Structure 1
Amino acid sequence: MTSTMQSSHNNRVSLKSRVQNFLGNKEGVGAIEFAFVAPILVVLYIGAVEMTVALSVDTKVSRAGNVTLDLITQGTTTSKDDLEDMEDVAKSILAPYASDQVALGYTAIQVNAAGTEARVQWSWRSDTETLPAKNSVITIPNSLMIGDAYYVRGEIANTHDLLTSIPFTGSTVNSFNLGETYFMRPRVGTEINCSDCNT
């Protein structure tokens, strides 16, 4: 009987010491923690890289749109050839990033004397988007509705491809569009003519 009780006591002590040893054993904890943290760090790193590149591309898209429109508004006339040349200007600004899908659009707009209506004078686009018809009413910001004002609206859009898909998120997004719209007045004279544009 005494031997049986002693054996039971020893088993309890042995089990207790095993539990204590298990709880006190710190080997492998770092590896387990890293296994939990590593995916988060990878996602944060890739996200930071993607955001940095996207911001850089967006800055270049904005600059390309501004520069090309500024060049157009420095003259009193333009043509399809001149406007098509703006694609090369935009692509040179966007380098070294991809620019094969860049799209440009320019629309000349005349506001009536009362400052209540704006109409299209001519329009051109580098892509296949539908162009507004000559003399059609067009909406512009209220702050630009000034009597007899003349503007050229410049639009630029470019598709930015992500460097990689973000792991562990299940996201299928691999690209998105970046674009800007600008309005500028002629630098010389009161209007800019384009005799061979769509209208």
Structure 2
Amino acid sequence: MIEFALILPLLMLLYLGSVELTNALSCQRKLGATSRFVADAVSQSVVLEAAQLADVIDTAQIIMAPYPLDSFALKVSALQTGQNGTTTVVWSRALHAAPTPRNTAADLPADLGEGGRFLIRVETFYDIPKIGPLGLPFPIRLHDELFMAPRLSRTISCEDCT
């Protein structure tokens, strides 16, 4: 009986840790699905309006259910790479984050940085809060980033976007 009392805290810690790890992995999968949906929906447009983009972002929030949305952030940006290899933001919209200002320099992965390329970048973030007295003293930030090229045109304009 004493052996059980000594090992019970360790077993509880392992059990609760596995539950939290499973929750974090599930949330990371939701972030990936949300990024893919937003990039796919935006890349099928030729001309966007801010209201249409707001509808896509609203749908993204539904995908993140059942996770609380106060810890969720999303940023959609259109990127243009010049012939000299520099990449700048053409337009951007965000939810629970600041949109990237126009003409701001942007970094691309090396294999996507060829000149004259237009891409949609979707970034999703989720902060998993500290859980219980045994949790980490800081939140864990999950992040997903996805790049997608336009499907129906060479560029996607959004005049009333930031």
Scaled by the length of structure 2, the TM-score of the pair is 0.89
**Mapped pair 1:140 → 2:108:** yes
**Higher-helix-fraction structure:** 1
Question: Greater shift after overlay, 180-189 or 105-114?
Answer: 105-114
Per-residue deviation, 1:46? 0.5
User: Deviation digits for residues 7-40 of structure 1, max 9, x if unmatched?
Assistant: xxxxxxxxxxxxxxxxxxxxxxxx2111210110
Unaligned runs of 5+ in 1: 1-30
Per-residue deviation, 1:128? 4.2
CA 1:32/1:94 → structure 2, altered by over 3 Å: closer, same or farther? same
Residue 173 of structure 1 aligns with an amino acid whose one-letter code is: P
Q: Give the whole-Å Cα distance in 1 for the aligned partners of 2:39 and 2:133.
A: 34
Whether the aligned pair in 2 keeps the contact of 1:110 and 1:119 (CA below 8 Å) is yes
CA 1:83/1:173 → structure 2, altered by over 3 Å: closer, same or farther? farther
When the two chains are superposed, the root-mean-square deviation of aligned CA atoms in Å is 1.9
The aligned residue for residue 52 of structure 2 is: 82
Unaligned runs of 5+ in 2: none
Whether the aligned pair in 2 keeps the contact of 1:120 and 1:138 (CA below 8 Å) is yes
SS of aligned partner of 1:193: coil
Question: Greater shift after overlay, 189-198 or 140-149?
Answer: 140-149
Of structures 1 and 2, the one scoring higher in RCO (CA 8 A, sep 6+) is 2
Runs of 4+ deviating beyond 4 Å: none
Whether the aligned pair in 2 keeps the contact of 1:108 and 1:120 (CA below 8 Å) is yes
Aligned identity (percent) is 30
Per-residue deviation, 1:98? 1.9
Q: How many residues align?
A: 162
Residue among 27, 31, 51 paired with 1:61: 31
